[in-house]
A and B are shown apart, each in its own frame.
Chain A
């Protein structure tokens, strides 16, 4: 019984449950739609400078939507206290973490795929730089948000008012990643600068924090 097997079965189990209840994805989708529409009111989408701030808009919208998803990460495990069943089993804790993080990653990526066309339509976006770079930035950036988000959601299980707690601890730590995503996206969209540095920074951020999450998750999971 390796970490990988348990990760896979846990991930499949989560996807099946999500497919049946559609809790997270529905609320996330609707929330994301709301964010796009409200942003369109707040920032005139037809203005020339909207291209300059589009990177920021898109990522802030994704960030908000991701927090909605992340807050639901452990909800299912806490209902009926199923988490205890995992904890008493010999299955490796990191498998649970990876399954949850990958699950969240998939949710948020699906969400981004659905929201991006809306942004493109509402803001008449065209990318001057290469689109494949946008995809790389999106994948690295999403993992950056999701890996720490999954971990911090586990931290907030043992706090009062846990839904508020998650953004409070996630946002400050995520600032460099967010900065990277926003600036990289803007420089690709405008074609004015190269996003190379930001892609490297996001990669470093992902590696460093994935490693820390895997080192500390067992400690946090079993703290009781």
Chain B
């Protein structure tokens, strides 16, 4: 595990440097927004990884409820934490981009609001994990099901909420007609972020299972000791 981490971490760092070079220097400057647009190469991949993490969390939680395997709980915990981190990064990037482009830090636009609500939901999941006294795994898995079921409902409700009322958002989706040079850089970043996300989940998962192993070693020692 340690050796693998030693190989993958520098590799990821190198890739990160390359992709940043691509995103910040090689990619052409966008016509209307200027350099600010370059945050897009990080922004969309962050969103993708965040969503991916929450999906993993859901699947792992269902698996836990079904099989009661501590490993799937470790995976659920790991993916929720990484997901919350990427989601937080996403929100921060969003405000950084919005300030120069929209002239405001924050707007209650559908996508922003949905992301914020998602972030709140999964923070509450982590809070439950932290505060539970015994049976954390079952409680957390149950909440994860609620959380994931809420995602489409949140999205629907906020989209309706925001399309019904006029919103101060200027500029539409940046996906409308991406230049080929931009698309290439974007795809590289997307791939890299996916690798990064999986790496984080994997490291966090290893830590979690190591903690579980430690706990059960202590427990087994208690079982054998004083016999």
Contact = CB atoms under 8 A, between A and B. Distances in A.
A and B assemble together: yes
Interface of A: 148, 151-152, 155, 158-161, 165, 168-169, 171-173, 175-176, 179-180, 183, 193, 197-198, 201, 204-205, 208-209, 212, 216, 219-220, 223-224
Contact of B128 (A159, A175, A223): A159
B21 interface: no
Contacts of A208: 149, 153
8 contacts: A169-B128, A172-B121, A172-B123, A175-B117, A204-B153, A220-B139, A223-B139, A224-B134
A158 B133 contact: yes
B164 interface: yes
B161 interface: yes
Interface in B124-160: 124-125, 127-128, 131-135, 138-139, 142-143, 145-147, 149-150, 153-154, 156-158, 160
Contact of B146 (A168, A173, A197): A173
B65 interface: yes
Interface string B111-125: 000000100110111
A183 B131 contact: no
Given A173-B146, A173-B147, A155 B128 contact: yes
Contact of B150 (A165, A176, A197): A176
8 cross-chain pairs, A with B, having the tightest CB-CB distances, nearest first: A176-B157, A223-B138, A172-B120, A223-B135, A172-B121, A159-B131, A176-B153, A159-B132
B149 A168 contact: no
A204 B150 CA distance: 11
B121 to A, nearest CB: 4
A106 B14 CA distance: 61
Given A204-B153, A205-B153, A212-B145, A179 B139 contact: no
Given A160-B133, A172-B120, A212-B146, A180 B139 contact: no
A176 B156 contact: yes
B161 A183 contact: yes
Given A176-B150, A179-B158, 5 more contacts: A172-B123, A173-B121, A175-B120, A183-B164, A223-B139
A155 B143 contact: yes
Contacts, number: 91
A168 B65 contact: no
Contact of A201 (B117, B127, B131, B156): B156
A216 B141 CA distance: 10
Contact of B124 (A160, A172, A212, A216): A172
A158 B138 CA distance: 11
B157 A179 contact: yes
A159 B139 contact: yes
A212 B144 CA distance: 11
Contact of B135 (A158, A168, A180): A158
Interface of B: 65, 117, 120-121, 123-125, 127-128, 131-135, 138-139, 142-143, 145-147, 149-150, 153-154, 156-158, 160-161, 164
Contacts of A201: 153, 156-157, 160
A47 to B, nearest CB: 20
A218 B221 CA distance: 32
Contacts of A212: 145-146, 149
A198 B161 CA distance: 9
B71 to A, nearest CB: 18
A169 B140 CA distance: 11
Contact of B142 (A159, A204, A219): A219
A216 B145 contact: yes
Given A176-B153, A209-B149, A158 B132 contact: yes
Given A168-B127, A176-B154, A204-B153, A155 B161 contact: no
A180 to B, nearest CB: 6
A216 B148 CA distance: 14
Contacts of B143: 152, 155, 169
Contacts of B125: 169
A210 to B, nearest CB: 11
